[in-house]
Amino acid sequence: MAGSVIGYVPTMGALHEGHLSLVDLAREQCDLVICSIFVNPLQFGPDEDFESYSRPVERDLKLLEARGTSVAFLPDWVEIFPRRERTLQDFGSHVSVPRLSHQLCGRTRAGHFDGMVTESLLFLNLVRPDRTYWGEKDFQQLRIIETLVQDLRLPVRVVRGVTRREEDGLAMSSRNMNLSPDARAVAPRLHQVLLESRSRLLDGDALSAVLAAARDTLTERGFEIEYLVAGEEESLTEVRTLDSRVPTRLFAAARLDGVRLIDNLRVTEVAP
């Protein structure tokens, strides 16, 4: 369709309202909406859940059709990686955004973001969209894609979608379905602690004390914390004190009942 604005929503399937809200946003802004479903092997570590990752394809297709998606792009693994590459080491080429990839989730998921951004660039080259839609829940991933597009002058605009949450505040994620009933009842505490921490920080409490209390609270509720820090939005650099001139977020990753949960929340923003 010559002259049409093409929007692209990349996913790994197991769709939820967070994904579908990006489809809705793309439909509002574009003439044609393409949504991919592809479980990318390059971004899974050797001990992660690539094989068991949920793949309810028929359900996902019905959801996309109901939301008015123009094209569902579901390539087979061997169509994208004809030599059946499973890791970055198997794949001949890759790209990296190192200044944003080694902190936060990158500390414990070596190679994850290189695999994600390599596959994302490959798909952007295949789809050739005008706009691509990414959620703020995976904020580090979002910033890496924004930096890739900016640094390599890719002819696409990255559009942010706000984090969608369940009624109890838990950030929507395909992995939430893996929580046991007891763990699911506790999981919203992660977001609640971030809200409480932001409130204390805006009241002037010391950042180090607020973060220490938040970690203690989550640990008491059964979370195994990977990180809970404050960081600059643009660089993701961890900060020790808040600066009202620098947009800052709280970032958290923790395991509960063996399920990895992540969340983030803006604390400060620069007044226009």
| Residue 156 and residue 130 in contact, taking contact as beta carbons nearer than 8 Å | yes
Question: What beta strand segments (E) does 13-137 contain?
Answer: 32-37, 71-73, 131-135
Query: What's the burial of 66, exposed, middle or buried (CB within 10 Å: 0-12/13-18/19+)?
Result: exposed
The closest of 155, 6, 11 to 73, measured between CA atoms, is: 11
Q: Which residues are catalytic?
A: 19
Burial call 109-144: b when 16+ CB within 10 Å, e when fewer: bebbbbbbbbbbbbbbeebebbbbbbbbbbbbbbbb
Q: How far apart are the first and last CA of the chain?
A: 39
CB-side exposure of 176: number of CA atoms within 13 Å? 21
Residue 74, C-beta contacts closer than 8 angstroms, at least 6 positions apart: 36, 37, 38, 57
- Tokens 């297709």, located at residue: 61
List C-alpha distances in Å: 86 to 46, 147, 261: 10, 25, 24
**Which helix (H) or strand (E) covers residue 208, if one does?**
helix 207-220
